[in-house]
Amino acid sequence: MKRNLYSPIGIFDSGIGGVSTLGQAVHMLSDEKFIYFGDNGNGPYSLKTEEQVKQYCFQACDFLIDKGVKAIVVACNTATAISISALRETYGYYLPILGMEPAVKVAASFNLPGKIVVMGTGMTLKSKMLDSLIERFGIGFDIVKLPCRDVITMIETGIIEGKEIETCIARYFNELDPKEISSVVFGCTHFGVLEQSIKNVLGDHIRIADGDEGTVRHLTNILKDSNLLNPGDRPKTDILFHNSGTSIALENSKKNFNTHLKNLENK
């Protein structure tokens, strides 16, 4: 299927986390069409082997390409760390493939005293991708890697606010003094809906750094350079949601997307 200005943009994640990236994309690229694929049936990727993650990423890309997308955003830090090079090598001749990285650069740009805490999956926190980002942008900063698997699991089940998830967040931060933390990096797209919950637990002084805005800005530039930006002169279609899991997971994806988009619009 030939790509053109009016083709949709494909975004995928191991579950519902990538809807934060989708929300940012809809917010910044309001004339574009989007297809979101949540691989709930195979996620979370952080519990799989690297070979399994690569297999799932190729399957997701094949699915989106069959739908006629003009670009693909891998809205998952774990998938990006493991698979982005192989995906670009296979599909890069045909369409742009963008990944998601923990926003260490953004947190460093705040230039605040105190710890920078990177929340993520164990696989992302151990990745060469994150180590490279810290070497490039984190020199001179006290950076703490904090695996938060149970938080991701709760978000997948639709728990995105309230006492239960705040208690879970507090448990992970238990050994850290909130007064000594300057910023939190969302090293997993699932955390995009947690900004207020994080501040409820740690305090309003906490700065949040996520990779969504930078990724969508990069996507915009690539589409512009490739003459693939939708000019907005045709009626828009609804955002299409697909997943490999249950209907409940699909509804949770839509719910989280609406929450995140509303938060962006109210900023």
The C-alpha angle with vertex 28 and arms to 235 and 78, in degrees rounded to 5, equals: 115
CA distance 47 to 32: 33
Strand, coil or helix: 29:
coil
Give the C-alpha distances (Å, rounded to integers) separating 84 from 18, 27, 74, 90, 178.
Answer: 16, 25, 8, 10, 34
Active site residue 188: yes
CA distance 225 to 243: 31
Burial annotation 130-161 (CB, 10 A radius, 16+ → b, else e): beebbeebbeebebbbbbbeebbebbbeeebe
Q: Which of 61, 76, 148, 168 is catalytic?
A: 76
CA distance 231 to 6: 8
CB-CB contact of 141 with 118 (8 Å):
no
CA distance 151 to 102: 17
Active site residue 76: yes
Q: Which of 57, 148, 168, 188 is catalytic?
A: 188
Active site residues: 76, 188
